[in-house]
Amino acid sequence: MLFGGNSSEHYISCLSAKTIIENIDQTKYDLTVVGIDNNSHFYIFNDELSYLDKGTWKEAENIHLISNIINYIAQFDIVFPITHGNYGEDGKLQGFLDFFNFKYVGSKTLASAIGMNKSIAKMIFNYLNIPQVPHLTIEYPKYSIKKIIKEIGFPLIVKPANGGSSIGISKVNNKNELINAIEETSSYDNVIIIEKFIIARELECSVLENKKLVVSSIGEIVPISEFYDYSAKYESKESKLLIPAKLPKGVNNTIKKYAKLAFNNINGKGYARVDFFYDEVNNKIYLNEINTIPGFTNISMFPQLLTFDTISLSEIITILIENA
């Protein structure tokens, strides 16, 4: 299993790795854990899980630098990347594994790149006639404030095109806030998504390949803040996950249909989490994004939805490995 990486989601990857270590079926699999630091160096990690819990695994005593990662990986049957964010989820790591013909869990290079790049994903979803919130893609510093305000209008959501865990996202209500938010978001990515902020319920479903494509029950996020940002997701204990979400049957079925359509058309593999907005007042569903390496922590929606549907964490991990 590979975790960590040079990403703003490094710590979340540590927590996901811990969950997998704790729940993998040790009677079936001999697991070796490899951490990737912020300088893209690979280390065998064989120490207390508390180091992962704190995100301080580089301080552990039982870590050993791998001098030749290609030769090292070649001795294993399956690679399980649980590397969230840039460099680990965006196709770069997958391309490396594909180049050397290593078998691995999850989506391949192109699907991973599409899933991470919200700008490209939105083009595909638009082609598929899957509804999305009104949006623009800009490239920093080449953008027009006037065009953004004219075409979408306030309030707005500003977020990096490549990224996850709600990092670098902000809501803006006026021109000055918009300029500042774009400046701040550009530190994460020079390609930036500007979306209309809508009052809507935030819904998610899990997708799991197990001979046929399984779409889980739908869960709802009730964030403590105005929207589900990083703090609401990982730092606050007051945000709630409601499983199953109470929805009209038609809405439930439409979300599952769109989730399948999105996963199949980016050529996803293994698993994903697909996120939606539901505007109850106008009875409109919008696809927000697809995540090809969703969070696997003990509070993450992806595993919780499947465990609600009676697929245990251990079974999820086994299914992913067996279908790699």
One domain, residues 290 and 185: no
One domain, residues 123 and 247: yes
One domain, residues 271 and 146: no
CA-to-CA distance for 69 and 102, rounded, in angstroms? Answer: 12
CA-to-CA distance for 183 and 293, rounded, in angstroms? Answer: 28
Question: Does some domain include residue 14?
Answer: yes
pLDDT tens across the length of the chain (324 residues): 999 999 989 999 999 999 999 999 999 999 999 999 999 999 999 999 999 999 999 999 999 999 999 999 999 999 999 999 989 999 999 999 999 999 999 999 999 999 999 999 999 999 999 999 999 999 999 899 999 999 999 999 999 998 755 678 999 999 999 999 999 999 888 999 999 999 999 999 999 999 899 999 999 999 876 654 545 554 556 778 999 999 999 999 999 999 999 999 999 999 999 999 999 999 999 999 999 999 999 889 999 999 999 999 999 999 999 999
One domain, residues 205 and 188: no
Question: Does some domain include residue 33?
Answer: yes
CA-to-CA distance for 317 and 9, rounded, in angstroms? Answer: 21
CATH number at residue 315: 3.30.470.20
CATH number at residue 160: 3.30.1490.20
Residue-wise pLDDT for 171-225, tens only, equals: 999 999 999 999 999 988 899 999 999 999 999 999 999 989 999 999 999 987 6
One domain, residues 157 and 206: no
One domain, residues 125 and 269: yes
One domain, residues 124 and 245: yes
One domain, residues 61 and 32: yes
Residue 151: strand, helix, or coil:
helix
Q: Position of tokens 């510093």?
A: 141
> What pLDDT does residue 270 have?
98
> What pLDDT does residue 168 have?
81
> What pLDDT does residue 225 have?
63
Question: Does some domain include residue 109?
Answer: no
Question: Does some domain include residue 188?
Answer: yes
Cis peptide before 223 (omega within 30 of 0): no
Last residue of a domain, one of 196, 217, 237: 196
Domain extent at residue 303: 115-131+199-322
One domain, residues 298 and 164: no
Question: Does some domain include residue 61?
Answer: yes
Q: What angle do CA 18, 21, 27 make, to 5 degrees?
A: 170
Last residue of a domain, one of 196, 223, 241: 196
One domain, residues 49 and 66: yes
Last residue of a domain, one of 167, 196, 225: 196
> What pLDDT does residue 109 have?
98
Question: Does some domain include residue 302?
Answer: yes
20: tokens are 């997998």
Question: Does some domain include residue 110?
Answer: no
> What pLDDT does residue 257 have?
98
Q: Position of tokens 């998610």?
A: 204
Question: Does some domain include residue 283?
Answer: yes
CATH number at residue 80: 3.40.50.20
Cβ atoms 54, 15 nearer than 8 A: no
One domain, residues 16 and 30: yes
- Specify the number of domains making up the chain: 3
One domain, residues 122 and 232: yes
